[in-house]
Amino acid sequence: MHIGILTGGGDCPGLNAVIRAVTLALINEAGATVTGIERGFLGLCRPAMRPLRVPDVEGILSLGGTILGTHNRCDPFHYFGANGGDVSAQAVATLQREGIDGLVVIGGDGTMVIAEGFARLGVPVVGVPKTIDNDLMHTDRSFGFDSAVAVVAESLDRLATTAKSHGRVMIAETMGRYAGWIALEGGMAGGADVILLPELPFSVEAVAEVCRLREAREGDTLICIAEGAHALNQEQVVRARLADSPEPVRLGGVGQWLAQALQPLVGSEVRSTQLGHVQRGGSPTPFDRVLATRFGYHAAQLVRQGQFNRMVVLQGDVCTSVPLASVAGRSRQVPLDHPLLAAAKGLGLSLGQPAV
């Protein structure tokens, strides 16, 4: 058996732990040959691959990023290269030429769309869910999320001490794309006073009211806002606050935007920090190392059992799998009945909702 492994889309802590687990399990339990495909699907369009043997994956468990490299724009079905267009047939021919019988594809929803396309062309594929955003369908957790939440929590801890010293309103903008998972868990773990999510459009006035009440009592306010969050009346607020600016919204992210919108409405100084790619870099947390290892091991089991065209998922504490087609191109937001939202409200935190 000869299996190729690739990492697609943005990088994420824990990718190397999956590569290691898949490689070791396939070699130890199936005597397989394993090949690493470099820079995601680009390594199939402009062939670039290398053998993965036991020594090649030693010492990479705790390493951030991906030893194989990745590419977040390369799609062989819509290739951007000189001879662009659909080059998937050439990619399949490359796999056949190399004697690769199947693929383990580690990536997010976009990567799973491509993986599913290869499955339809007859390439046996197993998917492994990767994203710091935790927004993939059917899996309660994707690896990388815990590491990102840890960065947000530590950043909020740091921002809290400087906010307190100056009596400021301090805003931290997290990643997360269209979902609020990172902001919600990171905000809770870091003790934010206000948590703003894409799932719950916020009122700038409601946030300002929280800041003013806190100013009257203790001075500082810690706000954790997801990059995909937006105000209920964002367009109007922008027009009012930036009336003389030709640029509409999100100069430097929604956190920066909120800082500009809030400043005239509160007494204290407002500062904003975009946490950005710091959330994606560095070593995975122990939780993510274990989850990535479980996912990698389960992917190797699926390969050994010939159960292809499926993606590994975590449901409760059980590693299982679902059809690739059921996750490809789909994502999941925080449900409005999520217990953490109820806990946040119960603790008196603000989710930026106007008083009814």
Cβ contact 66:280 at 8 Å: no
DSSP annotation string for 180-218: -HHHHHHHHHTT-SEEE-TTSPBPHHHHHHHHHHHHHHT
Please list the residues that pair with 7 across neighbouring strands: 106
In this structure, what are the phi and psi dihedrals at residue 252, rounded to the nearest 5 degrees?
A: 75, 25
Binding mask 264-283 for ligand F6P (x = CB under 6 A): ----------------x---
The Cα–Cα gap between 8 and 105 comes to 7
Stretch that binds ligand F6P, among 128-136, 265-273, 284-292, 311-319 (CB under 6 A): 128-136
Closest approach of ligand F6P to the CB of residue 57, in Å: 24
288 is catalytic: no
Task: Identify which of residues 177 and 214 has a Cβ nearer to ligand F6P in the complex.
Answer: 177
Measured from the CB atom, is 222 or 254 closer to ligand F6P? 254
Q: In this chain, which of 26, 114, 149, 175 binds ligand F6P, going by CB under 6 A?
A: 175
Q: Is residue 10 part of the contact set for ligand F6P (CB under 6 A)?
A: yes
Sign of the dihedral defined by the CA atoms of residues 238, 240, 242, 243, in that order: positive
Q: At what angle do helices 15-30 and 286-304 cross, to 10 degrees?
A: 40
Distance of closest approach, residue 280 Cβ to ligand F6P, in angstroms: 5
* H helices present in the chain, as ranges: 15-30, 42-45, 88-98, 109-120, 145-166, 181-189, 204-217, 234-241, 254-262, 286-304, 339-346
Q: Indicate the residue among 132 and 311 with the shorter CB distance to ligand F6P.
A: 132
Q: In Å, how far are 181, 320, 353 from 205, measured between CA atoms?
A: 24, 45, 9
* Amino acid residing at 86: D
* H or E element in which residue 37 lies: strand 33-37
Site residues for ligand F6P, 216-245, by CB under 6 A, read: 227
Interaction between residue 146 and ligand F6P (CB under 6 A): no
Beta carbons within 10 angstroms of residue 249's beta carbon:
14
Among 8, 76, 127, 176, binds ligand F6P (CB under 6 A): 176
Binding to ligand F6P (CB under 6 A): which residues in 19-78?
72
Smallest separation (angstroms) from ligand F6P to the CB of 72: 5
8 Å CB contact between 126 and 104: yes
d(CA 350, CA 87): 50
Residues facing residue 33 across a β-bridge: 2
The distance of closest approach from Cβ of residue 235 to ligand F6P in the complex, given in angstroms and rounded to an integer, is 22
User: Which stretch in 16-24, 162-170, 172-180, 283-291 sits in contact with ligand F6P by CB under 6 A?
Assistant: 172-180
The end-to-end CA distance of the chain, in Å, is 63
User: Is 2 labelled a binding residue?
Assistant: no
Q: Does position 289 bind ligand F6P by CB under 6 A?
A: no
Q: Binding site annotation covers 38? A: no
The catalytic position among 133, 135, 146, 220 is: 133
Write down the residue that tokens 């799973």 correspond to.
112
- Can residue 133 be called a binding residue for ligand F6P (CB under 6 A)? yes
Query: For ligand F6P, which residue of 20, 168, 177, 294 counts as binding (CB under 6 A)?
Result: 177
Q: Is 27 annotated as a binding residue?
A: no
Q: Considering only 120-128, 159-167, 175-183, 264-272, which stretch makes contact with ligand F6P by CB under 6 A? A: 175-183
Residue numbers in the known binding site are 10, 73-74, 108-111, 131-133, 168, 175-177, 227, 271, 277-280
- Binding site residues, ligand F6P, CB under 6 A: 10, 72, 131-133, 175-177, 227, 280
Cite the active site residues: 133
Residue numbers in the known binding site for Mg(2+) are 109
Residue numbers in the known binding site for ATP are 10, 73-74, 108-111
